[in-house]
Structure 1
Amino acid sequence: MTPLLLLRLLCLVPLVTAACAEAKLPADFTTLLAAKFSLADPGSALDAWDSRLSPSPCRWPHILCSNRSVSDAPAVASLLLSNLSLAGAFPSSLCSLRSLVHLDLSFNSLTGPLLPCLAALPSLTHLDLAGNEFSGQVPGAYGAGFPYLATLSLAGNNLYGAFPGFLFNITTLHELLLAYNPFAPSPLPEDVSGPTQLSQLWLAGCGLIGEIPPSIGSLSSLVNLDLSTNNLTGEIPSSIRRMDNVMQIELYSNRLTGSVPEGLGALKKLRFFDASMNRLSGEIPADVFLAPRLESLHLYQNELSGRMPATLGQAPALADLRLFTNRLVGELPPEFGKNCPLEFLDLSDNRISGLIPAALCNAGKLEQLLILNNELIGPIPAELGQCRTLTRVRLPNNRLSGPVPQGLWSLPHLYLLELAGNMLSGTVDPTIAMAKNLSQLLISDNLFTGALPAQIGTLPALFELSAANNMFSGMLPASLADVSTLGRLDLRNNSLSGNLPQGVRRWQKLTQLDLAHNHLTGTIPPELGELPVLNSLDLSNNELTGDVPVQLENLKLSLFNLSNNRLSGILPPLFSGSMYRDSFVGNPALCRGTCPSGRQSRTGRRGLVGPVATILTVASAILLLGVACFFYTYHRSHNGGHPAEPGGGDGGGKPRWVMTSFHKVGFDEDDIVGCLDEDNVVGMGAAGKVYKAVLRRGGEDVAVAVKKLWSGGGKATGSTAKESFDVEVATLGKIRHRNIVKLWCCFHSGDCRLLVYEYMANGSLGDLLHGGKGCLLDWPARHRIMVDAAEGLAYLHHDCGPPIVHRDVKSNNILLDAQLGAKVADFGVARVIGDGPAAVTAIAGSCGYIAPEYSYTLRVTEKSDVYSFGVVMLELVTGKKPVGAELGDKDLVRWVHAGIEKDGVDSVLDPRLAGESSRDDMVRALHVALLCTSSLPINRPSMRIVVKLLLEAAPRARPLESKPKAAEEEPLDV
């Protein structure tokens, strides 16, 4: 035998050995290998299924073996492949695993139809295919097969056709989970009593219509019943009181009518009952509050009437009661709270009268108290001032009177105190300094007197102080200028006097300043012109003197009023136009252009002094310009043509810019710095200015966006500019996704920090939608934007390890390219989170977008982003801003709910898109948005599910297919 032949034979030995080993595998494991090669496995989760790596296939991951069979060969009992990013069609070879008991392929990306052959598996008890992309109808064989099936979960797929009511024929079922599939509108079967051991029935978002069958009460083993988010009509069947084991009943967001059935108090295990957002009427049954374990009762946004039952005071376990937006009247029982561990109470928008029960916080657990827009009278109970667990108190627009309990001003965890629109009196107590978490103090339209305490300026998280229309007097606290978190200050119509505080340049986040109708004196601080996001300034009807600072020309104001003061001098040129005429009326000493004789400001003199001064000024300017040109030319010749920039250098030469690149770039700091001209500014916010830089590369003009961070300020969280820069670099520098804006590189030199992004030609979604060009976005374009942004967020939440929460999802942070493709931007406050919610020290986000639980728990999860994205979706569906005068005192979420309840769904759709061609598609997207903005985080879908729901809600005339993953999409490992 020749050496060459021997070498070839030796090379074949491993292959032969592997083939032999594979051939010796029991049949079930050969089947698994076949399934492995039919699946796309980007995470390599199945690589270990290899007999060469493990001598015993029962040690392969994701597999549990059964006892040896009659043939003395091991068999697969459990195949657990959840959340592994597997793709492809369901492997038909799995239907031959006759010993399979437990099959879990949930939360992958599997596609295609469900296989009827699964119903023939004789031992299968648990089948979980939830959270995939399976489509088509549920096979009819499923209703006649599965001799031992206990769990069937098909939730969160793309299954369509009629609702598969035949699944109730599987009498062995313990759990039937079909939620969030786009089934055709279908009723439930008249008889659902077949699976007598059924404990979990989850049919939310299944397109159900018609009435809830009375046979539902025959499911005496049922623990969880969820029929929410459908179009069910008729009454809630009284037979539900026969479900002795039920713990949770979810019927919210349907079209149910009639009254809440009596007898719920007899359900000894009932803990959660939610029939909110329906059309229920009549009185609340008295016995419901006597259910011994009832923790949560949600009946909000219905048409309930009558008085609050006296049994409310006897509720033994009630922690969460939400009855807002009904027609309830009468007084609350004075014992309410004495016998139950109350945590959350919302009775807003009713006609409840009488006193606030003093016992509400007897258990020491009350966190949120919301009884706004009612008819409450009398004082705020002193006991509430001792309730240290309170985080939000909203009692506006009642008839409350008397002083605020001293302790209420100083609660350590209180984030929002809203008492506006009452008849409260007294002063703001100096102990407010102890309210270290207070972000919003809203006490307008009351009878408060005295001076505002200096301690207000020590609150580290104060964002909004609204105390208009009171009788406050004295000077503005000088300490107010130290509140760098301040975003809105409204002290209109009081009796405040003295000067405006010095040092207001610290108000870098201030958007609204209203001090009108007071007795303020002194001059207007020029520093106001340095506030980057101020857009509403009203100092009218005061006694201010001096000139109008030219620095105010830097502001971009939607409201500007300095009328009825004692201002004098020549107006800055920008304010001389007719558009500002009403901003300065009632200031007779103010002049446009030049002042008449006798009314010259200090900028002008009589006779020759003015001309001589002008000539000297011009001559000096020419001389200085010549000197500057000389030194500029000199430095260019000695420093390689690089002009000196602030933020570093080597003794007057070229500054030391540090560049960090995340992609291959063909430019350097000189190209970028040279474009930072005010003429190139395309945006400005709390973080800094954004410039458009056009660079010449390879004979073509290439545009990039450059964000220059403020050197002394930060984002709305109170972060410094450096922290915001570091967070954005650390996050965006590693992300590769087509729907996340690309960060090319970054530069820093001393305090100056630059971020260079890809340029998005159509700017932000917020500007385009609300800037008068919203009509340019038809419904297919808006839907594509929704899907693009959702896919970007889903990547952050599900494909990054560990996940990333954006924390500031809003329409202004969704950018649009030339083709209206959407990308998520601005990661300055993003957070990496681990296995649970991340604790934060301050609220990040923008008004109208912040999830309700985020504001009082200060814990951020992916569901916080889901809520914010739901608000963006509502913007696209309605054309409205998240907050604004046109919404009244509601935010967009509440406005939409109220509009649908009062005038139907068509009343909230953007009228610019009126037409039957898009109406149904818009309603389907609206449905998804309402899911995302659910008040309870647990009820919001994940972003992965949101993407699937949006793809199902694609415009029918132009169906939107799921985009293939781009090559640059990579899992992120932070």
Structure 2
Amino acid sequence: MITITTSLFLFISLLLAFSSSLQVYSNGDAEILIRVKKTRLFDPDENLSDWVINGDKRSPCNWSGIKCHIKNASSVAVTAIDLSGYGISGEFPYGFCRIRTLVNITLTQNNLNGTINPVSLSLCSRIHVLILNENNFTGKLPEFSSEFRHLRVLEMESNLFSGEIPESYGRFPALQVLNLNGNSLGGIVPAFLGNLTELTRLDLAYVTFEPGPIPSTIGNLTKLRYLRITNSGLVGEIPDSIWNLVSLKNLDLATNGLTGEIQDSIGRLRSIYQIELFDNQLSGKLPESIGNLTRLRNFDVSQNSLTGELPEKIAALQFISFNLNDNFFTGELPDIIAENPNLVEFKIFNNSFTGKLPRNFGKLSRISEFDISTNKFSGEFPPDLCYRKKLERIITFDNQLSGEIPESYGDCHSLNYIRMAGNNLSGEVPVRFWELPLSRLELSNNQLQGSIPPSISNARHLSQLEISGNNFSGVVPAEICALGILRTVDISRNRFSGSLPSCINRLKNLERVEMQENMLDGEIPSAVSSCKKLTELNLSNNRFRGLIPPGLGDLPVLNYLDLSNNQLTGEIPPELLKLKLDQFNVSDNKLSGKIPLGFQQQIFLPSFLGNPNLCGPNWDSIRPCRSKPETRYILLISAICIVALLGALVGIFIKTKPLFRRKPNQANKVTIFQRIGFTEADIYPQLTKDNIIGSGGSGLVYRVKLKSGETLAVKELWRGSGQKSESESVFRSEVETLGRVRHGNIVKLLMCCNGEKFRFLVYEFMENGSLGDVLHSEKEHRAVSPLDWRTRFSIAVGAAQGLAYLHHDLVPPIIHRDVKSNNILLDHEMKPRVADFGLAKPLKRDVNDGVSDNIPMSCVAGSYGYIAPEYGYSSRVNEKSDVYSFGVVLLELIIGKRPNDSCFGENKDIVKFAMEATLCYSSSSPEEAGNRGSPGNFKDLSKLVDPKMKLSTKDYEEIEKVLDAALLCTSSFPINRPTMRKVVELLKEK
């Protein structure tokens, strides 16, 4: 009995001792975690506040982000740390790896930064999973020693890593997932990645590799199920070894420079579910063997140069998504495609398909998106396209479709997007069609008729209404004012009549209004001045009468105004001088009086023709302003009488001269930013009408010549009550930005004066005006006309250096937000200065190259033609918007046209024109051209450049380089655009 009792006592003691050691071990892990938190991490949101050793929190297994393996009550181990989205910052927490049982570290979506030290990282050699996605790590990718033999998952997507992929990344014996998406890596895709034979997923998308081929060794990865190398500089042909990856489910090589044909060997990928090869330079026919891929559901080979008819077998595949757009496919569409019950997305736009659409399209399928635009289809619309009530988007523009819009489409309440422009549709649009919950309705350039019904007020989601070029008639119903999110209204080239609804002021989101070439009459409603987001207003070729509303001058972002060919009377409101107009036309009206001084520039001459009662400067086509003959004698007699009084008044005038000067109040605040030899008293008396040289949205610009001979540019900001807050904003932005800037390519702010009654800014004077005036003025410029290429290139480099200084050398960095040729000024040596910082904004925090916080925007800022496309879908922008605008300026320098010149064609701007033109003569050597379509034929390139320039072979080589940079800058996606510092490097490369 004693023996048994003793044995039981010893067993219990040992158990307690083991439990105690277990607790000590657990507390040891907790202490490691606490130490790392205190020394390596910053937790601003206190998401790790429960990392404390007390009470029921003694075990770290109960802490946020900590996962443990619990085998039984006596076996507990910390195995994973997952702090995804916790908002922590600091350096990489190497100390976590001191926990001997830890196998998983996941730190996605945080603000961790700095470089990763390979020596310190060796602590983590026992790790199986390391995920660092969406942080701010910098420097070269970390090296991994041979001790990392258990690593199965390595993900470092969306960081700031640079340099080539280290060779150690080809020596992971157990690695199954490698994800390096979205980093600024160099070199090419390395062949040694083919050694990772256990790999099931390889992600190298949106990596800035140099142009290079897909290594054939990738074909060794026979276990690979997911391969994504999107937009990463791939060139050359797809190696045949790729088709050996028989386990592939997803193949994505889109948006590269791949060439050659798609080999028949693609039929080996029997397990493939999705193939993405769009936006390359592939050619030839689709191989018949694609019909063998019976599991294929998503197929996208759009934006290539593929030709021929569709293989018969491909029509029988059960696609969910089918995209063949932007190729050269021909022939009729097989009826069997329309009978696919799985079909959800059908896109074959920009091809040469012919014939009629299968009448049963939509009867069996679950189709949600139907895009056949820019083909040669004829006949009528399939009546049952929305039979399953799943259809959301119909895009059929630029075909030869005819007949009426089916009544059944009016019952398709799932529809939210319709583009049917450029066909031969006729008849009246079904009334219920106008009432659908659409965001865009485009019916332009057909033969449709009827009127807009009042029930359009039910389409509360409509933001774009485009029905130009039809036979619509009747009045514009007042019910349209109920569409509160409407941004674009284009009803031009129809037969609308009557007056515009006065309730237009309710459309607060209007950005573009085109109503030209109708029979609209009445007065232009003054309420339009309430549409503060309006950038374009075209009411030309109608029957409007009455005065031009002065309130148009209060529209802060209006830069396109065309009121020509109407019956408008009265004077041109001087308030229009407040606008920053890229396009202005009031010709062919009945206007009278004197052209405002700010418009008395040669560039505006065509804007005033056809108004016999207008007068202005000594232009051939506009009569000069002179006194009427019958008043001359009266003036002469009056002058003689006045002369007798002048002698007596001279003495009084001399004594009281200061009282007649416009001078600032003593309470005005004057700030001096540079060493100057004048005061505000020298400037203010010269702010007269005779010295006006320009105008903008914020005020008038004067040329002031001092007694010393120095010439200055002075911007006097508007002082009216309606402009006070906007004027104050512009003044503050200019002062806060330029007051701390010292750079040779940024205009110098010399001083400012701020008072209750007035405020003005004094700058160095730029003798040659703006780049926009020099490039586009119809009258020969006084300095250099036309600009030779050497001067243009020098201007491009200088302006790029100025913007790079704003983005990278200032703390905090500055976004200009209105980069355009009119805001690049030229001194007497044609050296550029970036100017007009009225819209500039500082970024919220210090940044490294290419990375910044986004700025929330309440409305579109910038000028028409220069605005980056992300403004259309995002209210937050960063310095990449400036990069896009600068890319447009580079194209202006090359092509010599304004961004929205009519010579580019309908719905095309300079960016789209340049991209399409470049594709027509891209280099025959994709290895040389890379992924950017660099032009390589000087003879063809000469068709793109400004014909006013005389160019040498060396000039053409330099233009190629600048064009290459311009196309990068104007990429649709901000992530693909270079930083301004990189732009400077690209321009300076030899």
Q: Fold-level match, TM-score > 0.5?
A: yes
Aligned pairs (5 A) from 1:82-93:
84=111, 86-87=113-114, 90-93=117-120
Deviations 1:44-65 (A, max 9, x none): 99xx9xxx99999999984585
Do 1:441 and 1:464's aligned partners in 2 also have CA atoms closer than 8 Å?
A: yes
2:887 to 856, 861, 873: 873
| Deviation of 1:205 (Å) | 4.2
Partner residue of 1:447? Answer: 471
Partner residue of 1:689? Answer: 699
Partner residue of 2:299? Answer: 273
Code of the aligned partner of 1:146 = F
Deviations 1:645-689 (A, max 9, x none): xxxxxxxxx69x9x9x9999999999999998778878755x533
Distance 1:515 1:123 in 2: 70
| Deviation of 1:399 (Å) | 1.0
1:888 to 896, 905, 916: 905
Distance 2:177 2:543 in 1: 72
| Deviation of 1:411 (Å) | 4.4
| Deviation of 1:330 (Å) | 2.3
Partner residue of 1:941? Answer: 975
Aligned pairs (5 A) from 1:412-427:
413-414=438-439, 416-427=440-451
Distance 1:746 1:341 in 2: 65
SS at match of 1:331: coil
Distance 2:823 2:609 in 1: 40
Task: Indicate whether 1:306 and 2:331 are aligned.
Answer: yes
Distance 1:269 1:501, change over 3 A: same
Code of the aligned partner of 2:380 = L
Partner residue of 1:353? Answer: 378
Code of the aligned partner of 1:873 = G
Partner residue of 1:231? Answer: 257
1:429 to 453, 459, 477: 453
Code of the aligned partner of 2:958 = S
Task: Indicate whether 1:471 and 2:471 are aligned.
Answer: no
Distance 1:108 1:148 in 2: 27
Moved more, 762-771 or 340-349: 762-771
Code of the aligned partner of 1:379 = E
Do 1:176 and 1:200's aligned partners in 2 also have CA atoms closer than 8 Å?
A: yes
Partner residue of 2:150? Answer: 123
Distance 1:763 1:243, change over 3 A: farther
Partner residue of 2:989? Answer: 956
Task: Indicate the RMSD between aligned Cα atoms, in angstroms.
Answer: 6.4
Distance 2:176 2:594 in 1: 84
Moved more, 664-673 or 491-500: 664-673
Do 2:97 and 2:123's aligned partners in 1 also have CA atoms closer than 8 Å?
A: no
Task: Indicate whether 1:99 and 2:126 are aligned.
Answer: yes
| Deviation of 1:888 (Å) | 0.5
Distance 1:525 1:507 in 2: 13
Deviations 1:80-118 (A, max 9, x none): 598656445854453465424445566546335864x63
Distance 1:610 1:450, change over 3 A: farther
Distance 2:918 2:632 in 1: 72
Code of the aligned partner of 2:917 = G
Code of the aligned partner of 2:148 = L
Code of the aligned partner of 1:956 = E
Distance 2:976 2:312 in 1: 37
Distance 1:422 1:215 in 2: 50
Distance 1:617 1:413 in 2: 74
Aligned pairs (5 A) from 1:533-682:
533=558, 536-540=561-565, 548-549=571-572, 551=574, 554=577, 560=585, 562-563=587-588, 642-643=664-665
Moved more, 239-248 or 549-558: 549-558
SS at match of 1:328: strand
Deviations 1:766-809 (A, max 9, x none): 6787677695665586467568758967999xx99xx99x8967
Partner residue of 1:964? Answer: none
Do 1:793 and 1:824's aligned partners in 2 also have CA atoms closer than 8 Å?
A: no
1:407 to 421, 429, 432: 432
SS at match of 1:376: strand
| Deviation of 1:203 (Å) | 2.5
Distance 2:843 2:341 in 1: 40
| Deviation of 1:281 (Å) | 0.9
Distance 1:840 1:406, change over 3 A: farther
SS at match of 1:280: strand
Moved more, 182-191 or 417-426: 182-191
Task: Indicate whether 1:811 and 2:824 are aligned.
Answer: no
Do 1:88 and 1:111's aligned partners in 2 also have CA atoms closer than 8 Å?
A: yes
Distance 1:457 1:629 in 2: 61
| Deviation of 1:229 (Å) | 3.2
Do 1:928 and 1:949's aligned partners in 2 also have CA atoms closer than 8 Å?
A: no
SS at match of 1:304: strand
| Deviation of 1:885 (Å) | 0.8
Code of the aligned partner of 2:430 = P
1:375 to 375, 400, 411: 400
Distance 1:668 1:442, change over 3 A: farther
Task: Indicate whether 1:166 and 2:192 are aligned.
Answer: yes
Deviations 1:112-136 (A, max 9, x none): 5864x63553333334455566666
| Deviation of 1:194 (Å) | 1.9
Partner residue of 1:282? Answer: 308
Do 1:792 and 1:824's aligned partners in 2 also have CA atoms closer than 8 Å?
A: no
Distance 1:431 1:102, change over 3 A: same
Code of the aligned partner of 1:215 = S
Moved more, 865-874 or 441-450: 865-874
Do 2:194 and 2:219's aligned partners in 1 also have CA atoms closer than 8 Å?
A: yes
TM-score by length of 1: 0.68
Distance 1:184 1:234 in 2: 20
Moved more, 838-847 or 887-896: 838-847
Number of residue pairs aligned between Structure 1 and Structure 2:
863
Distance 2:968 2:435 in 1: 40
SS at match of 1:417: strand
Code of the aligned partner of 1:933 = S
SS at match of 1:918: helix
Distance 2:776 2:672 in 1: 33
Distance 1:670 1:140 in 2: 70
Partner residue of 1:17? Answer: none
Distance 1:283 1:604 in 2: 76
Distance 1:592 1:845, change over 3 A: closer
Code of the aligned partner of 1:310 = D
Code of the aligned partner of 1:333 = P
SS at match of 1:173: coil
Partner residue of 1:6? Answer: none
Distance 2:672 2:92 in 1: 36
SS at match of 2:401: strand
Distance 1:631 1:413 in 2: 69
| Deviation of 1:171 (Å) | 0.5
Distance 2:702 2:528 in 1: 30
How high is the sequence identity, in percent, across the aligned residues? Answer: 30
Distance 1:419 1:476 in 2: 21
Do 1:124 and 1:146's aligned partners in 2 also have CA atoms closer than 8 Å?
A: yes
Distance 1:287 1:574, change over 3 A: same
Deviations 1:188-228 (A, max 9, x none): 34453322222332323444333212332332333432323
Distance 2:650 2:482 in 1: 47
Aligned pairs (5 A) from 1:685-724:
688-689=698-699, 712=722, 721=726
Distance 1:635 1:910, change over 3 A: closer
Task: Indicate whether 1:199 and 2:239 are aligned.
Answer: no
Structure 2 unaligned residues grouped into runs of 5+? 1-27, 61-65, 67-77, 82-90, 619-624, 778-785, 846-851, 923-932
Distance 1:680 1:948, change over 3 A: same
Partner residue of 2:7? Answer: none
Code of the aligned partner of 1:473 = S
